[in-house]
Amino acid sequence: MTESLSRARILCVGDLMLDRFVQGDVGRISQEAPVPVFRWVSERRMLGGAGNVIANLRALGATAALACRVGCDQEGEEAAALAAECGAELLAVRSSSLPTIQKTRFVAKGNHVLRMDREVVAPLSQEEEDELVSKIEARIADFDLVVLSDYAKGLLSRSFCERTIGVSSRAGKCVYVDPKGRDFRKYAGATLVKPNRVELEAACGVQFDASAPDFMEKVVAAARGLLADAGIKNAVVTLSERGMVYVPGGGGEAVWLPTECREVCDVTGAGDTTMSVLAAARAVGASFRDAMKVANAAAGVVVGKVGTATVSPEELKAAFAGGRSTPMSFEGKVMTLGELAGKVRSWQAGGLKVGFTNGCFDCLHCGHLSSFSQAKEHCDRLVVAVNSDSSVRRLKGPSRPVQDERTRTLVLAGLELVDAVVVFDGDTAMGVVEAIRPDVIAKEGYPIDKWPEARFVASYGGEAVTLKRVDGYSTSSLVGKLG
């Protein structure tokens, strides 16, 4: 089933945010006031809120678009550019009176020092609502299923929800809702609502005791009452470490699935991943039970990562097959460029400094190991980009490489110093550097004026490090001796 998720076509409607992660150091207290001094090191921006839903869908290879509101500001332009970068379409109305929602997290050594929110919570104006409904109505036929991603920032008002669900229903499209707040009646007519335990408790005015023997029965009963009261057909309630439960309307049998997670690092964005995979699976014809299984497996993978993260098709396939692996395992360190970009964003969102180096690495020797060791002193995670076989032949001649790219990448992945490996086909690694934007770039013997990748990293505040060469070691000399 996991391979078929790329055929899904999902329209997401919801609150778009721009997430900023500012990495820095805190080493002293200000003399002006008893507050820490945060020294800026680097900065990352990515799609947040409903934007994380489409990022998850695109990571699966699915077609995704987001209907939303952005401000007439630079942040709105950046959000549109980020959506285009991940291959998603933005159906946006521009507000001249409200800013694009932006959440800025200041992170030092993996710890969040401060979060600063720039937002104005307000519903769409009548003109904006009419425009966005028209955009949805014009494109609804191009999608299999609609997801409402509500972050309680004003977009999904009762009026707008009613009109959007109406447009979707008339077009024969199911509507899945990731809810916020106590008023679930505004989602009346939706096919499915996916509250977590806290959201269900708030909406129903109850509290559940997870240790009680009748815990699951009370959750199911509360969900049934909520469905009947709100006029929604089905519910999937996510229960953190207790897994998730599907509650059909009309008295059908509930289905409970235990969690697939083995180790929790960070639950940020796990709900978006669950909804994305659940919707994609249902869009390509999976039963509710099977869709929950694959969504549950995806959630188990993503909470094992640091920061807001997505799940790759390969990770999902392994997890759904019952043999969950992570990109930190041996072969799992070898990634596609898309997988690597997501992993780097996840590391950086968790406050980790990402380093980068590249080369052919045809015959691994002590000089290479010294370079990796030096580079690792400047970062928490080290990415190594490897020239493809065709790239090596262009650079070194028809007799090279001695070892094919799969062998070279797996040997590198087996090193404890190396955290991720990617193959590139160009004559330079600039494409990889532009895609992942590392915090540190390191290489032997390259001055900045002859090192365009380093100049690019420096342009956004990153660090370029020239590594010391260990004399007496080179791949060419080794190949010559073997010949």
pLDDT digits (tens, 9 = 90+) for 326-343: 444 566 789 999 889 888
Residues forming CATH 3.40.1190.20 domain(s) in the chain:
2-321
Work out the number of other CB atoms within 10 angstroms of the CB of residue 330.
10
**φ and ψ of 73, to 5 deg:** -145, 175
CATH superfamily of 337-482: HUPs (3.40.50.620)
- Percent of the chain having pLDDT more than 90? 56
What strands, in cross-sheet order, belong to the sheet with 101-108?
A: 36-49, 16-29, 101-108, 111-118
Per-residue pLDDT band at 265 (split at 50, 70, 90):
very low
Residue 348 is predicted with a pLDDT of: 80
Distance in angstroms (rounded) separating the CA atoms of residues 436 and 68 = 26
Work out the number of other CB atoms within 10 angstroms of the CB of residue 56.
30
Tell me the mean pLDDT in the region 98-107.
93
Helix or strand run (H / E) with residue 39 = strand 36-49
Residue 267 is predicted with a pLDDT of: 47
Distance in angstroms (rounded) separating the CA atoms of residues 355 and 437 = 9
Tell me the mean pLDDT in the region 13-20.
95
Indicate the angle between helix axes 50-59 and 270-283, nearest 10 degrees. Answer: 60
Segment 267-303, tens digit of pLDDT: 445 788 899 999 999 999 999 888 988 888 887 776 6
Residue 1 is predicted with a pLDDT of: 65
Determine which one of 15, 73, 150, 272 is catalytic.
272
Q: What is the DSSP letter of 285?
A: T
| Average pLDDT along the chain | 87
Distance in angstroms (rounded) separating the CA atoms of residues 23 and 45 = 11
Work out the number of other CB atoms within 10 angstroms of the CB of residue 192.
28
Q: Is 272 a catalytic residue?
A: yes
CB 51 within 8 A of CB 79: yes
Handedness of CA 423, 429, 434, 439 (dihedral sign): positive
Q: If you average pLDDT over each of 231-235, 311-315, 413-417, which comes out highest?
A: 231-235
Distance in angstroms (rounded) separating the CA atoms of residues 415 and 375 = 14
3-state class (DSSP) for residue 370:
helix
Least confident among 154-163, 173-182, 339-348, 436-445 = 339-348
Tell me the mean pLDDT in the region 82-103.
94
Residue 169 has pLDDT above 50, yes or no: yes
Work out the number of other CB atoms within 10 angstroms of the CB of residue 481.
7
Distance in angstroms (rounded) separating the CA atoms of residues 301 and 327 = 10
Tell me the mean pLDDT in the region 363-387.
89
Residue 259 has pLDDT above 90, yes or no: no
Helices (H) and strands (E) in the chain, counts: 16, 18
Q: Which two tokens stand for residue 461?
A: 């505040």
CB 81 within 8 A of CB 114: no
CB 146 within 8 A of CB 13: yes
Residue 263 is predicted with a pLDDT of: 47
Per-residue pLDDT band at 260 (split at 50, 70, 90):
low
Residue 35 is predicted with a pLDDT of: 93
Residue 204 has pLDDT above 80, yes or no: yes
Q: Which two tokens stand for residue 19?
A: 């997430």
Residue 303 is predicted with a pLDDT of: 63
- Per-residue three-class SS string for 395-407: HHCCCCCCCCHHH
Q: How far is CA 68 from CA 92, 325, 409, in A?
A: 5, 35, 41
Residue 345 is predicted with a pLDDT of: 81
Chain CA centroid to CA 10, Å? 17
Residues forming CATH 3.40.50.620 domain(s) in the chain:
337-482
Residue 325 is predicted with a pLDDT of: 42
- CA-wise closest residue to 199 among 232, 175, 235: 235
Distance in angstroms (rounded) separating the CA atoms of residues 287 and 278 = 10
Q: Which two tokens stand for residue 34?
A: 């008893």
Residue 305 is predicted with a pLDDT of: 55
Residues with Cβ < 8 Å from 197, sequence gap 6 or more?
208, 219, 237, 238, 239, 240, 242
Per-residue pLDDT band at 93 (split at 50, 70, 90):
very high
Tell me the mean pLDDT in the region 458-469.
88
| Domain topology for 2-321 | UDP-N-acetylmuramoyl-L-alanine:D-glutamate ligase (3.40.1190)
Half-sphere exposure of 462 (CA within 13 A, CB side): 28
3-state class (DSSP) for residue 323:
coil
Per-residue pLDDT band at 210 (split at 50, 70, 90):
confident
